[in-house]
Each structure stands twice: as C-alpha cells, then as structure tokens.
Amino acid sequence: MKTLHNAHHALHQGREEMFRGRMVPCHEVPARLDFVLTELQRRPLGALEAPALDDAELDAAIARVHSARYTAFLAGAWDEWVAMDPANALRDALPSVWPLGNRHAFRTDVLPQNFAARLGLFSFDSGSPLMAGTWAAARGGAACALAAVREVLGGARSAFALTRPPGHHAGPDFFGGYCFLNNAAIAAQALRDGGKQRVAVLDVDYHHGNGTQTIFYERADVLTVSIHGDPATEYPFFLGHADERGAGAGEGFNLNLPLPRGTNFTTWRAALGQALDAMAAFNADALVVPMGLDTFEGDPISGFTLRSNDYFAVGEALAGAGLPTVFTFEGGYAVDAVGTNAVNLLEGFERAA
Ligand code: SP5
Ligand code: ZN
C-alpha cells in the first residue's frame, strides 16, 4: 500500500487549545505524523510519496465538499487575523463567539465584516487553533487524500493518506475538533466522481465523525458509519447518537454506533462487525476509513481500551470487506504509540487483503 505524505503538515502547529476555561497544550501536534513516518520506515508497507500538487484539480475536489465562502475564509484567515491587530502575529487564532446557526436565532446568512465574528461563524469549538500555515497544511492533507483516491481508481487495492491536520470533524462550512478540511469526505466524493457508485465511509476514530455525517446526511450514494464514544458524555457531544439515520434521500444511509466510555476491544469489535454488515447490505464498491487511533487504551483524551495488538485485527476485519480502500489519518494522541498503532492496523489490512 502506497502512503501519500503531506510535506506541509508541520506548518500547522498549534500552541494551546481552550479546555474548560483554561488554555492547555495542543494534543494534535506534528510529532504524531513523524511517529507514523518513522514506523513506516521501520516496517515499510510500500512507497512513500508526496502528492504532485495540481492546484486547480485540488481546489475543484475541495469545492465538491466545502462551500466557497468557507474555503475563501480559510485561505485568508491568517492575514485577516493579523490585520485585526499586528500583535496577533504572535498568537494563534481561536474563536470566542458563535451564532447558534441551527437554532435559527442568529443570522448565518450575512457574512460579518468583523473577523472574530467570522471565526465563530465557521467553527464549532475553541479547541482548534488556526495559524499562518494552517491553510497550506490542510490543503496538503487534502492533496494526499485526492492522490490516494487516484491510486485506488488506478487499480490499487488500498492507499494511505497520511493527513495532518485531521479532517473528520470538519463540515461543509465549519472547522473544529482540530479539523479544517474533511479529507475523508473529499476522498469519498472523489471516488464517486471517479466512477464508484456506492461509497462507504467507516469512521473508527474515538470521536464521532460529525463533519462527514453532516456532509453526506441527505445522500443515498455515500453510506456513513461511525463507531465512537457516546456523545452523551464524549466530544463532539451534539451529534453522533444512534437515532441519526440520515434524512430525505439519505434516510437509512447513516449509521452511528455509540459505545460507552470504558468500552474494551471485544465490545468494540462487535460494533465493527455491525458496521461491516451494514456496508455489505449497502453493496459498497469503495471504502474510505477515517483512521483515528485514539481508541487506544493509553490515549490521553479518550476512553476506550484497545491495545496495540488489537489494531492488527481491526485492519484484518476491514480487509474482509474486499473493497478498494482509502485510509485517512485522523486522531490518536498517545503520541509515542500512534505510529505503532497506525502501522499495525495497516499491516493487518495488507496481510488479509
Ligand atoms: C480528530 C480528533 O480526534 N479530534 C478530537 C477533538 C477533541 N477535542 C476536545 C478534547 C478535549 C481535550 N481535553 C484536554 C484534557 C486536558 N487534560
Ligand atoms: Zn478523535
């Protein structure tokens, strides 16, 4: 399996995130990706490549998933942040005011001139700092996702998009959960546009893939499945319940499998079985796996108890679906174990594929 590597990822390097009224060091750090690279060099799965960046093609693929006003916001965000106050050049941008758009109380149709207001309009948390290199890094990740799709459309059984920042919390016009562009959704849409008829997204990150769910919620051509910590107690809290089944034409094409904090691998594996059954019933012809490793027992911000060896079995089970598969790199904050866990999963897949 080829790995598409995002050479720009380290340009995104947040300092602190807001957590319960105080600033704490960022969990989503460049070293996460470096540990995966190091492990891939130790246990190679295939070629490691930086995607050839065709700006127009990449912009078109991003535009299939994200709104024009959102990507324009992201592209100019850093300059506008610094224009608000030259001293801002020394601090990351974080939102602190939100329009509660889905309650129809605040206006979200009028684009505010005030940049702090726009930061809030296009986000849902204050844990996802934006800085000078965020846009370049996020685009680099999306380029990896797109190049991984090209691999698979060209006949490869699988490809790994080593994306950073992660993507699965980012929606059509919002960032949050450390995510800015939804790499997995961009991959799923590119697979559709490349001729695949029914694409499944199976999200194994600890946190519900709210961005991906929202992007495809009213569509029957992309099945979204997520196994995650119960949003009653776990981030992102406001989406990810079992009764969210899709809407309109998409009714029945979203499956959430929330599990309580503390869930072990036996129970988690049974949920994966349910997810794979739903995928088989859907008759998918391609698979995207937003691969979070924050289900690991040592993860500092999550609550499942998977062990490093369990990831081999996860990969094997995913390979059992027999589908062309694109992996994107999502969460996983036990930094010194994330490389081992990621490569275990991918190696398990390769062995069984
Ligand atoms: C991609 C992904 O996994 N995003 C997860 C975003 C979770 N953000 C909220 C995390 C709360 C952090 N808790 C800090 C604990 C400090 N001791
Ligand atoms: Zn996560």
pLDDT in tens, the chain (353 residues): 999 999 999 999 999 999 999 999 999 999 999 999 999 999 999 999 999 879 999 999 999 999 999 999 999 999 999 999 999 999 999 999 998 766 667 888 899 999 999 999 999 999 999 999 999 999 999 999 999 999 999 999 999 999 999 999 999 999 999 999 999 999 999 999 999 999 999 999 999 999 999 999 999 999 999 999 999 999 999 999 999 999 999 999 999 999 999 999 999 999 999 999 999 999 999 999 999 999 999 999 999 999 999 999 999 999 999 999 999 999 999 999 999 999 999 999 999 99
CA of 293 to the centre of ligand 1 (A): 13
* Spatial distance between the Cα atoms of 4 and 245, rounded to a whole number of angstroms: 33
Query: Nearest bound ligand to CA 206?
Result: 2
Write out the two tokens for 343.
């490569």
Question: Taking the complete model, does pTM exceed 0.85, yes or no?
Answer: yes
Active site residue 169: yes
- Whether omega for the bond prior to residue 172 falls within 30 degrees of 0, making it cis, is no
* Spatial distance between the Cα atoms of 50 and 25, rounded to a whole number of angstroms: 29
* Spatial distance between the Cα atoms of 281 and 253, rounded to a whole number of angstroms: 11
* DSSP helix/strand/coil, 230: coil
Active-site choice (12, 27, 66, 169): 169
* Spatial distance between the Cα atoms of 135 and 132, rounded to a whole number of angstroms: 8
Residue whose Cα lies nearest atom 13 of ligand 1: it is 301
Number of Cβ atoms within 10 Å of the Cβ of 36: 25
* Spatial distance between the Cα atoms of 284 and 275, rounded to a whole number of angstroms: 12
